[in-house]
Structure formats: C-alpha cells, structure tokens
Chains A and B, each alone.
Chain A
Amino acid sequence: MAKVVFTPNIQRHVALPEAEASGRTVRDVLEAVFADHPQARGYVLDDQSGLRKHMTIFVDGRMIRDRARLTDAVNESSTVFVFQALSGG
C-alpha cells in the first residue's frame, strides 16, 4: 500500500489524515483516498479531474509529470505527497 500525505494547509478546510491506498498510478491512489473523503476531491482536483493549477504531487521525491491524467506510476512502497505549489502565492 502506498502512503499518501496531504499538505497540512488543506486540513483547515477538510480533514485528510495520512492514508494508505493501493493502486498503480497516482490517479488510482488518489481516487481510493477520495472514496473515503469525497469532499476532499474538489480541493485537489479541478472540474476536469486534473490536478489543480497551483497544487503539486511528489511520488518518492519526484514531481509528477502528468498533471492532467495522473498516470505517473506508484508502487506498494511509494510515498505520495500532495502539496501546494509556491506558484499559487
């Protein structure tokens, strides 16, 4: 199971504790978390289910490349960090 960690700043709006989720891509893992926390989905993903413009995701220390489809690979021992990008100000 991959570990999924959300920025502390999101917790003010919607509680998203560190979670474990299985899946082969960032999309799989996030959807698994959002199944338990449906209100959180719109805080991370935009209306087209892409990553919000000023959000960023790191998998094992590497920023993901596919922000629209979230196809970057995740393995059982991965850690997925969902953070704000500094570009948002």
Chain B
Amino acid sequence: MVSDTLLVSTRKGLFTVPRRGRQWEIAAVDFLGDNVTIALTDRRDGSRYAALDHGHFGVKLHRAAGNGWEEIAAPVYPPKPEGYEEHDMWGRPLNWSTARIWALAAGGPDEPGVIWCGTLPGGLFRSADRGQSWDMVRSLWDHPKRKQWMGGGADLPGIHSICVDPRNSKRMWVAVSTGGIWFTEDGGASWNLRGEGMRAEYVPPEQTHDPIAQDVHCLAQCRAAPQRMWVQHHNGIFVSSDEGKTFTEVTHVEPSAFGFPVVVHPREPDTAWFVPEIKDEKRIPREGKLVVIRTRNGGKSFDVLTKGLPQSHAYDVVYRHALALDASGERLAFGSTTGGLWVSDDQGDSWTCVTHTLPPVYAVHFA
C-alpha cells in the first residue's frame, strides 16, 4: 500500500523519484526540456501516461512502453459546426482544440483500459483502450450551461479534477475552474451541476452562491467514505458529507484558507491536507513560511505542519496537482513552483527535502 515511487511533472521534464533505503533520489528524467503538465500511473494495469504541452506543436500524450515512451493519441475536439460561433469570456473566438491536458484519471476496476481526461478549454474525454483513441463526452460539452464556464486558473475554462466513485464506475464527479462541480451517474450520458453552499466573493452578489460561478481549485473524495468530498476553492475550503450536493464552508483556517491542492485520507474522511498561500491577490506563503495544514476532525481545527519545511523567505506555490498522498494514507509529497520537492512518511508531521532545484513543478503523483 505504501508507494515508493514519485512521478514529478515539471515545466522541463518528467522526473521519476524512487525511495532507495531512507533516501528519495531522482532516478530518471524523461522528456527533458519539455513541458509535462500531468502524469498518471494506472494502478489497475501499471500503465504510465504523461501529458506534454509542446507550445508551438500542441498537446501530446505518451504512454510508457518497455524502457521508453510511445506517443499515443491525444484528445481531439470535434469539428466545430459550420457557421457556429462561440466566444470566450474575453470575446475572442473559442477554438475547439485541446489547449492543455489538465486531468488524467483511471476508470473503475470493472472498466479495464478506461481513462478519463480533462482538458482546456473544457472538454472531457474518455478512452476505452488505454489512450489509443479518445471520444469527447458530448453530453457535457453540449450542455447549455457549459457556455457559462469561464477562465480561472488559466484564460480558458478547464476540467482539473475527476473523481470516479469507488463503489460504482458509472458515477463520477468533475470539477471545473471556473464552472463548479458536475456529476453523472450514467457513465457520462447526462450531467447535473452540484455544489450548493459554495460561495464566491469575486462575482456580483446575485451570483455569489450560484453553483456554476464557483472556482473550484481542487476536488478530492474519500475512497472509503465517498460521500465525503473536500474542495479547495478560490474563496476558501469547503466540505461535503452528501457526495457534493451541499457544502459547508470551513472557516477560521490559519494561516490562510486560500490555496490550490487538497488531498483526503483514503480511509479517514475527516483527515485532509492543504497548502495555504496568503490569498488570491498575494499567492505566496504567509511571512515566507512554507507550511502544510492538516485537519483530523473534518475542518474544526487544523495542525500547521512546519518540521523540515523552510520557515523564512520561502515563496513556493504548490499547484492543484502538486500535493500527493499515497494509498496507505501515511506518505505525502509535494512540489513547488520554485522547484522544491518534499516528502513526508508520517502524514506530514515531518518533511524531508528531496531537492530544491527542479524546474517549476506542475504535478506530483505516487506511482
């Protein structure tokens, strides 16, 4: 259950970091020099996937094969109907073309080979053949409310979180920045907007509580108690005990309730971790002290975890996919925009710096 290998996706390559003895060491660098936006190990069959953004040459997807990688199909948006016009929040024509792969998730245990992929500008894709081919989930893309999605973490809207119900693979939640939380219980044939109770201060008052106006930064679900969902939101931290139908805001969070990632313990729904930044207009750790915060009681209180983390002049930002918890619930790791990588073997009580000279880290994943 304890994982001994990290995949670290960075602006300049994919780093494989195994634990050797008591040390974590960089053992391999793939795609050196290229922008790796996210990586996935499918625990059902051991397949590894890496998403690349080549800028000029577009978004690509690779799967590990033998000792190397092979390029497989990337999600492709369907042809835009002739004469159809759609504009983004800036009034520019919205190009129906994959601008970034922002989420990769394995399907359920009863669906071998099924992979889900969330993209910018908002398309959700499903592969039934380990990424050899992809189908866009048209029911979500064509949903009339999808056009209300807006840019948040990027200029374009995107799907960054995909939670497949461990009890039933047909049930799934996806989260959009910005566009709230969407739920299907028929494998993606139909969708409903969830997330009552979340609050957005940054929109006009009449939209503050509108579920579609919510900028969810990250959505996490407890495996053993899937009714429990945690959200790190642009506006703070929210928790749900009814599968995301309703959320309660967690208040009095120190040093801050702003941040990007959240992970939840696989068996203890009240235990979750966050990495706070001062707030939205000042995205740096408070007082230059890099900390992780942990609740063990559903958000009533938090431990501020500092042991082994820099406590002066640290300006690390931890992106939404860059905090990881292994399947045992004991081991954590996170990477930062300033190239730091830290690991904890004791649920965050103490941390070890693996390196602080990586390229900007986009995603950290236990293989």
Contacts and interface: CB of A to CB of B under 8 A. Distances in A.
Interface of A: 9-10, 13, 39, 42-44, 46-50, 52-55, 84-85, 88-89
Task: Classify chain B's interface size.
Answer: 10 to 19
Interface of B: 54-58, 60, 71, 74, 76-77, 79-80, 95-98
Contact of B55 (A39, A47, A49, A54): A54
A47 B57 contact: no
Contacts of A44: 57
A48 B97 contact: yes
Contact of B57 (A13, A48, A49): A13
Given A42-B58, A43-B54, A47-B98, 6 more contacts: A42-B76, A47-B95, A47-B97, A48-B97, A54-B56, A88-B55
B95 A46 contact: yes
Contacts of B79: 48-49
B96 A48 contact: yes
Nearest to A54: B56
A10 B57 contact: yes
A26 to B, nearest CB: 18
23 contacts: A10-B57, A13-B54, A13-B57, A13-B60, A43-B57, A44-B57, A46-B95, A47-B76, A47-B96, A47-B98, A48-B77, A48-B95, A48-B97, A49-B79, A50-B95, A52-B56, A52-B57, A52-B58, A54-B55, A54-B56, A55-B57, A85-B56, A88-B56
Contacts of A49: 79
Contacts of B95: 46-48, 50, 53
A14 to B, nearest CB: 8
Contacts of B98: 47
A51 B344 CA distance: 46
Contacts of B57: 10, 13, 43-44, 52, 55
Contacts of B60: 13, 42
A16 to B, nearest CB: 11
Interface core residue of A43, A46, A49, A89 (most chain B CB under 10 Å): A46
A20 to B, nearest CB: 23
Given A48-B77, A48-B79, A48-B80, A43 B58 contact: yes
A83 to B, nearest CB: 9
A34 to B, nearest CB: 14
Contacts of B77: 47-48
Contacts of B76: 42, 47
B29 to A, nearest CB: 16
A8 B56 CA distance: 13
B27 to A, nearest CB: 24
A89 B56 CA distance: 9
A89 B35 CA distance: 13
A50 B80 CA distance: 12
A48 B60 CA distance: 16
A39 B71 contact: yes
A39 B73 CA distance: 9
Contacts of A55: 56-57
